[in-house]
Amino acid sequence: MSGAERFDAQGGYERPGRTGTGDGAGDLPPGPSGRDDPPRVAGTGPEPPDGPPPRIPLPRASVEDTGRPLPDLDDVAPVPPELPHGVLRSLLGAWALAACSAAETAAVELHLGECGSCADEARRLREAVGLLHQPENLDLDPALRTRVLAHCLDRRPPRVPLPEWATPYDAETARLDALLQDIGDAEWHAPVRLRWFEGDAAASRRTTVAGAIAHLLSVDGLVAVALGLADPLAEEGVTGPAPRTEAYWRASHVPLARSVRAPWREQSHNLVRTVSFTGGSAGRLPVPYGDFTLPLHDAMLDRAFECWVHAEDIAEAVDYPYDPPAPRHLHRMIDLAARMLPEALAARRQAGLAAKGDTPHLVAAGEPGRTLRLEIEGDGGGEWLIPLDSPGAVGSAELEVARLALDGVEFCRLAAGHVPPQEAAAGQLGDREAIRDVLFAAAGLSRM
């Protein structure tokens, strides 16, 4: 290779040309021999063997194709620059907003481990940023379905409308079904504890998410039988919520799992569809619960209430956010419990659990008697006058002896057996024994 040749930075070889003479001849590159060879005419002879290599560089080989070890990631990590304390402190705001470069972030975080005052300031800035950017809840508003349905029904009423007393059951089963759709197969075996009160003592039963759905399926079957629909326990011949549930659990030869969702869902849809076609006149149809009987319109409210209660049990077991029912549905559930309290008080007296008062509990049906004013606060709240002396007595404001105030959701959880009566957050005024009886009677409304 001629000494006049040099390696170009782009990967090719070139020879320096002569200094131009002004006529352009000196700007031509010299020939292969170093002299000014005449231009070669194509096709007149062989190619010169010592022509200059091409100036276009060849593709560079990847390090993965060379067999050499890959560079250590630590070698490519940003090197924190050495910045004075004042500059680092001025970068704390940008660091809290994640607006620093990689090198600046490394420098700030290295400094925070050495400077206590800057670390405190950085913590305060990060907390302020967290307040400005609240995490968004990805769960849909539980009232969204109700609002969408209400809007659609306003625009086009259904040909077969659902009775108003059945809408809470329709809404609560739909909400629970949405929860079940979101959980995984393993979560169907998550432990769930069913809780209620027997007498004045708390009782419970351990099961799983699938077992809780089987419990709802079994008890909803009481309403299905009253409507002439198929009963999931037709061959067992048992009545009452607890015996039916135990029978269903015993009949399951394999552990209950996701497969129980389909029959529960189909049964709830059949109940809603059937009461729609029967119309409002079917609301008085009796539904036997074993020890007592409810009219259909109250039985559907009872099933909506229990669906919500056990949906909360399931949501707690799988760590799922779950809100109370819509206010107008919650009001109906509270009203049902308030109307059942006089019977529950009478049952306590028959069992010898009621407080011994000076006034005899003898009031003719339809006559006013001693009364407790129940004030339910919050969404779905209101006031109810609860007769204390007889289920047939009439509540009277003139004969009011006590006043009890409770939050609506707290009262429902008390009636579900999830809150002990002595621990209920209640405002009390007047006859303490009457208030105690009502609190324990409310807890006595619960059952498995």
Three-state SS letters, 153-176: HHHCCCCCCCCHHHHHHHHHHHHH
Tokens 């107008």 sit on residue: 328
CA dihedral 267, 273, 274, 279 (to 10 degrees): 150
Task: Give 309 or 88, the one with higher predicted confidence.
Answer: 309
Count of CB atoms within 10 A of residue 350's CB?
9
**Hey, how many other C-beta atoms are within 10 angstroms of the C-beta on 118?**
19
pLDDT band at 344 (very low <50, low <70, confident <90, very high): very high
Instruction: Report if pTM > 0.75.
Output: no
Here the tokens at position 134 are 């609240």
Task: List the beta bridge partners of residue 13.
Answer: 7
Residue pLDDT, tens place only, 202-212: 999 999 999 99
> How many angstroms separate the CA atoms of 395 and 413, rounded?
24
Pairwise CA distance, residues 224 & 188, whole Å:
25
The mean pLDDT value for 71-95 works out to 76
> Distances in Å between the alpha carbon of 388 and those of 79, 192, 226, 408, 436?
79, 36, 32, 21, 12
Strands 368-377 and 394-407: parallel
Q: pLDDT by residue (tens digit) across 167-182?
A: 999 999 999 999 999 9
Chain-centre distance of CA 358, in angstroms?
Answer: 51
pLDDT of residue 105: 87
Count the Cβ atoms, other than its own, within 10 Å of residue 338. Answer: 21
375 or 128: whose pLDDT is higher? 375
Token pair of 398, please?
């003139």
pLDDT above 60 (res 13): no
Taking the C-alpha atoms of residue 102 and residue 110, their distance in angstroms, rounded to an integer, is 12
Is there a contact between 369 and 390 (Cβ–Cβ < 8 Å)?
A: yes
Q: What number is the average pLDDT over the span 263-272?
A: 95
* pLDDT at residue 376, rounded to an integer: 96
- Average pLDDT of the chain, as a whole number: 81
